[in-house]
Amino acid sequence: MTALWGGAVALCIIATLFIFWPVWRYRSQNSITAAVNVEERLAENVRLFHEHVAELESQLASGRIDSAQFAQLKLEQERALLDDEANIRAAQQTRQLNVGGITFAVVALAALLAAYGLYRELGSSADVEIRMAQAEKQHLDMLDYQAGRNPDPVRTREMIRLIEARLADNPDQLQYWFFLARMYMDISDFTNATNAYLQALERDKESSMVMAEAAQAMFLRDGSKVNPATVDLVQKALKLDPDNTMALGLAGIDAFGKQDYLGAIKYWGRVVNLSGPDSAGGQALTAGIERAAGLFFANGGTQEQLDAARNGRQIAVNVSLANDVKVQPDQLVFVYARAWQGAKMPLAIARFKVSELPKRVLLTEAMAMTDAMTLATVDSVELVARVSQDGTATAKAGDWQGSIGPVDAAAAQADLQITISEQVAP
């Protein structure tokens, strides 16, 4: 903060110099004129001195004064001349000093006060203070972590005080409500954190991140229990961002509490896939998935149902070869699903040899070529099975294939059938 104000003062001084420059030029011109006037007054005094001396000499010659009186009166005239010169020059210097010094001081002080007043009224001094305090807090918190200590909560409470004061002046600053909520989360004040998150949501109703964090604050506020308001926020967050890991984790907790163990496995499994099984959250949720799986089996669930939940959406299709199609046993068969409308890149793909036909193929989300395009990202798909002439997945003239569609990706039947019977035209 000291550096900031030092820089502000320096800028004000520079601005003052720009203002003072014409004043100085004006004063210089006046000084030249005044100097000329002084010399003229001194010359006039010298002329009058010589006239007085000439008159004294005339009086001495006529005998009206003697030589002693003449010497005394001439000395007095010389002293008067010197005193007048000294007074005139001193008055000139005082006037120049007063005008220049006072003008500069007044202008500089006015510029500084005006800049400070405008900055306090129109600027963001409070925002700067908050950012400086946050930077210092982060630095000190890091030192605490490095020393094996928990950060001092007093610093967090001071940040809360600064942010609340800023929001009292301007309550529509979204970022400060969000910042305030996280500060309250840091000191486990989940009630105030929830209130701050809800204030942020009033100002940004389309933020999945704020929704998910608000739901988490509610969950912790209520003693790790899921209430309808929490579920509503979670569902809205996932609708906006299906990959929001915080919302997915809470959705899994809600499903587990309702004994929907497959649902919990599905949600938590997605978090593990997104964050990685070796992450801290991934390891904790993997243990939760195993517990949910054990309870699922204890309640009569099957391995096939569990696999389906772990793999997300899946489509089973029986692939066969028409009798009149002539292909070699070692040729490759590609079976894939692609969006019924839109990009034709495969959403899930399987590969095997002709010798394995007929074959039941299970296409799952795990077979996607990219996380951005899976069976879960579309509503309807086309299923294609093709025997490749050159061993590549791209269709070429002479390949044999079969297809069906549109197929509902979310509710596909297990007994879908594809017969490879059509040859790709040149």
Residue 122 has a pLDDT of 43
Residue 59 has a pLDDT of 66
In the beta sheet, which residues pair with residue 359?
319
| CA 57 from centroid of its chain's CA atoms | 95
Bridge-based pairing of strands 416-420 and 314-321 is: parallel
pLDDT tier at 241 (50, 70, 90 boundaries)?
confident
pLDDT in tens, 346-361: 999 999 999 999 999 9
Q: What is the DSSP string of 314-340?
A: EEEEEEEE-TT----TTSEEEEEEEES
| pLDDT above 50 for 123 | no
**By C-alpha distance, which of 252, 283, 253, 287 is closest to 267?**
252
Contact 261, 299 (CB under 8 A): yes
Mean pLDDT of 395-420: 87
Average pLDDT, the chain: 80
pLDDT in tens, 92-107: 555 544 444 555 555 5
Please tell me which residue, 160 or 5, carries the higher pLDDT value: 160
**How many CB atoms neighbour CB 170 within 10 A?**
10
Helix or strand holding residue 418 (H, E): strand 416-420
pLDDT in tens, 319-343: 999 999 999 999 999 999 999 988 8
Give the integer Cα–Cα distance in Å for 112 and 94.
Answer: 27
Residue 56 has a pLDDT of 63
**How many CB atoms neighbour CB 34 within 10 A?**
15
* Edge-first strand listing for the sheet containing 314-321: 359-364, 314-321, 416-420
Q: Which of 129-133, 178-182, 286-290, 328-332 has the lowest mean pLDDT?
A: 129-133
Which range of 39-48, 300-309, 413-422 scores highest in mean pLDDT? It is 413-422
| pLDDT above 80 for 411 | no
pLDDT in tens, 104-114: 555 556 655 65
Give the integer Cα–Cα distance in Å for 421 and 389.
Answer: 15
pLDDT in tens, 391-401: 888 889 999 99
112 exposure class (CB count in 10 Å sphere: 0-12, 13-18, 19+)? middle
Contact 387, 331 (CB under 8 A): yes
Residue 335 has a pLDDT of 95
Give SS3 for 360.
strand
pLDDT in tens, 135-178: 887 888 788 788 888 888 888 899 899 888 888 888 888 888 99
Half-sphere exposure of 5 (CA within 13 A, CB side): 9
**Secondary structure (H, E, C), 130-190:** HHHHHHHHHHHHHHHHHCCCCCCHHHHHHHHHHHHHHHHHCCCCHHHHHHHHHHHHHCCCH
222 exposure class (CB count in 10 Å sphere: 0-12, 13-18, 19+)? middle
pLDDT in tens, 206-238: 889 999 999 999 999 999 999 999 999 999 998
Please tell me which residue, 21 or 315, carries the higher pLDDT value: 315
Please tell me which residue, 34 or 158, carries the higher pLDDT value: 158
Please tell me which residue, 30 or 85, carries the higher pLDDT value: 85
| Contacts by residues 231-238 (CB-CB < 8 Å, ≥ 24 positions apart) | 236/208, 236/211, 237/208, 237/209, 237/211, 237/212, 238/208
Residue 354 has a pLDDT of 95
| pLDDT above 70 for 38 | no
Give the integer Cα–Cα distance in Å for 212 and 232.
Answer: 10
Query: Which tokens is 251 given?
Result: 């959705």
pLDDT tier at 420 (50, 70, 90 boundaries)?
very high
pLDDT in tens, 359-393: 999 888 877 777 678 888 888 999 999 999 988 88
pTM above threshold 0.85:
no
Give the integer Cα–Cα distance in Å for 84 and 41.
Answer: 9
First to last CA, the chain: 75
Main-chain phi, psi angles of 108, to 5 degrees = -65, -45
Residue partners of 254: CB distance under 8 A and separation at least 6: 226, 230, 231, 234
Residue 318 has a pLDDT of 94
| pLDDT above 70 for 5 | no
